[in-house]
Chain A
């Protein structure tokens, strides 16, 4: 289970991984600083002999020359007071350019933190575990990304879901490769540190000695003359006063030992493969010598600081509130009703709890369990209800992975009747696919159903309540499913304007404009935690709590972005508590509400045209987008109403927007007047123009009732098929968005 693993590993290792990533990101700056500050030396045409000769004339005792990965040359030497010194030297003259300043306490602190968390060898192991966790998180995250997107080719599509989920996916996609490189190389370095991985540097079996005689000027030694300075990594001088010692040079090719008397090359040892691998892996991990790659990997590591916490938010939101514990859960073999839950994250469990409680209240003995516990032979069960979410590309969720196979194995019709309730999100291409598959599988083996398949979009409590009413009727019991979801803090909104449409045709529809009532006494903390969204506009929803109800109704915001005003469009429903209450409001009255973002119904970024399709109050979010379109992006609105003289919502506003080019074209269809038509008929009439727009990358946004959305989808599908495209492709690319009620 990618997802279970990813969240458990992420939670367990988050703090550690963030510490390692942030310290690593900070450390990645130094190689670039060195590149900028180091005196880079031109080495063309110079040999090691010339430089070695030149520096021995400058200092009392030269110990070691070093060409840094940035291209500067440093010299370790012992000064007249016998103190060790390190200085930059000029490649051509050997002159001392100035002391090399060590990187300082901040660098040392970060490096120790990054490598060992100040815990010595134990800390190095812990850091290694952190690197391993990062590798596994990156790989399982990549697996999740692919399965959620529905295949490799769709991995780069616009991510869906809440703000945290999208940020998590965006950042993870950007940083993924870098994080895998950083953590794998880090893991490898830990392995080398502890000698689990053997790296053999080029070395000599038995150090040779120089021939007896007078020590020569290094500049005259043929062996050193043969090494171009550009090939040098470091050169260790013979120990002062030891005429038998030799020059030890590490070059790009390997180890070279040179006689300090005769100048002969005494021995060469080529670089080993393990040493070369070590150097590359070390350079990749630290950025030393590869400062730009270092900075890029550092930025990737920096992203972990956001990827981690957004992951935590995603996990937290997926947890069932109040736990998965079911009160009064009866054993499977004594229950007369069995509820089976197929859920990936856990939100479906909340609905199961509500259903369980309501059925128990109605006098039933109810057993609720994960769907994988399904068995065909419940002894007492009269009904089995399946509450099924869908995972990724239409797959079975974690707790129902074996369900279809078990149903497929059934040979005789069961004694119980059943119903499937699917949970999903229309924004995904395979909406409630698993519930549909489940319905099909059950139909084949179990003929008796309680209710046909019903689907719940985006955890709608209303749709759930409505299914509950149908279920109650079918079972012959009173059943109220009042599913409470956690609400954000509400505030007061005062009605400042009210316009009524459609009264003449018995379809009263109100355009209501509210102003948020200032709440002066809020503490700083509450401002931070529960900050009111500073600007409310299209692609937001206004949640309204009707009196004596815990279930909010959501209305799309029809106003342009504003810090305190918000406009919605409400049709009076027969028997509708909330719409009735809103219609009865007079200017000056107040209601309790809150704003909720609806990021999946927002215009695709960019300048490409947008085709807006709506019917009735479905115009609300589209109107908001048009009003906000001061950039004059091409927007084409298709809207369907009933009678132009009665329910033509926003007639004047639309004309104003057309005049100032916020709206490019307006096409209307009226179903009870003149040449009667629906909005989908208008789409068909203009199919040629629309197809051309789609070919150029236009996106489509549809808002309205379910039947209208289906009809509109069929029209567009007919246009897309000849282009080799489909609604599913467009949805995956973020070019087809629906807000259906």
Chain B
């Protein structure tokens, strides 16, 4: 299963004035093979200081369990904006999710990081599962995860 997420205007999410030069960022979160319930995860962007910017995708249909992604939930709460990205079902072992968003040009090569945190019921919550900096060196690359993420890749 590889659902393609509809383009999200992160530009608008950030409340930036239009028109701003923006690029399409494509990202893919691939989940490892493991046994157990599906993975809940949040893929979101933080700035160079770790400050929350925006959520690209939240996977998991039940609000109760999304709350288990506790750091992300705190960042969301503190942002006061709610989940601003797309949402979808939790993701099973060996599956992946892809999506694309418009991101302002000035967020590339400026220390912004796409981070994924994951949780599986009865198993672990992994706040630092995978992270990749939005910079040219990583364009078309992928990084491995420490928990349930097999790979996190970006291209633009």
A residues in contact (CB < 8 Å) with B: 61, 63-64, 76, 78, 81-84, 86, 102-103, 105, 108, 111-112, 192-193, 195, 199, 201, 203-209, 236, 239, 241-242, 244-245, 248
Contact = CB atoms under 8 A, between A and B. Distances in A.
Interface of B: 35-37, 49-51, 62-64, 67, 70-71, 74-75, 77-78, 80, 122-128, 146-147
Nearest to A205: B77
B71 A239 contact: yes
A69 to B, nearest CB: 15
A111 B127 contact: no
The 4 closest A-B pairs by CB, nearest first: A207-B78, A207-B77, A242-B50, A84-B126
A82 B131 CA distance: 11
Contacts of A108: 35-36, 122
A209 B71 CA distance: 13
A647 B123 CA distance: 81
Contacts of B64: 192, 195, 199
Contact of B70 (A61, A64, A195, A205): A64
B36 A239 contact: no
For A84, A208, A244, the residue with the greatest tally of chain B CB atoms inside 10 Å of its CB is: A84
Nearest to B61: A121
A76 B78 CA distance: 23
A64 B62 CA distance: 22
Given A82-B128, A241-B50, A206 B146 contact: no
A236 to B, nearest CB: 5
B139 to A, nearest CB: 23
B128 A111 contact: no
Contacts of A82: 128, 146
A82 B63 CA distance: 27
A83 B77 contact: no
A76 B122 contact: no
Contact of B67 (A86, A201, A241): A201
Given A82-B128, A83-B146, A206-B80, A102 B123 contact: yes
A204 B125 contact: no
Given A108-B35, A239-B71, A76 B125 contact: yes
Given A83-B146, A108-B36, A239 B124 contact: no
Contacts of A245: 74
30 contacts: A63-B125, A76-B124, A78-B128, A78-B146, A81-B146, A82-B128, A83-B146, A83-B147, A84-B125, A84-B126, A84-B127, A86-B124, A102-B122, A103-B122, A105-B35, A108-B35, A112-B37, A193-B62, A204-B77, A206-B78, A206-B80, A207-B77, A207-B78, A208-B78, A236-B74, A239-B74, A239-B127, A242-B49, A242-B51, A248-B70
A569 to B, nearest CB: 67
For B36, B49, B67, B71, the residue with the greatest tally of chain A CB atoms inside 10 Å of its CB is: B71
B102 to A, nearest CB: 27
B70 A111 contact: no
A209 B78 CA distance: 8
Given A78-B128, A207-B74, A111 B122 contact: yes
A63 B37 CA distance: 22
Contacts of A199: 64
B148 to A, nearest CB: 10
Contacts of B122: 102-103, 108, 111
Contacts of A242: 49-51
B47 to A, nearest CB: 11
A195 B123 CA distance: 23
A241 B124 CA distance: 22
A81 B49 CA distance: 22
B63 A195 contact: yes
A83 B127 CA distance: 10
A203 B67 CA distance: 10
A244 B79 CA distance: 12
A236 B70 contact: yes
Contacts of A81: 146
A111 B35 CA distance: 13
A205 B35 CA distance: 36
A154 B63 CA distance: 50
Contacts of A208: 78
Contacts of A204: 77
Contacts of A201: 67
Contacts of B126: 84
Nearest to A257: B74
B128 to A, nearest CB: 6
A191 B36 CA distance: 23
A204 to B, nearest CB: 7
A241 B78 CA distance: 16
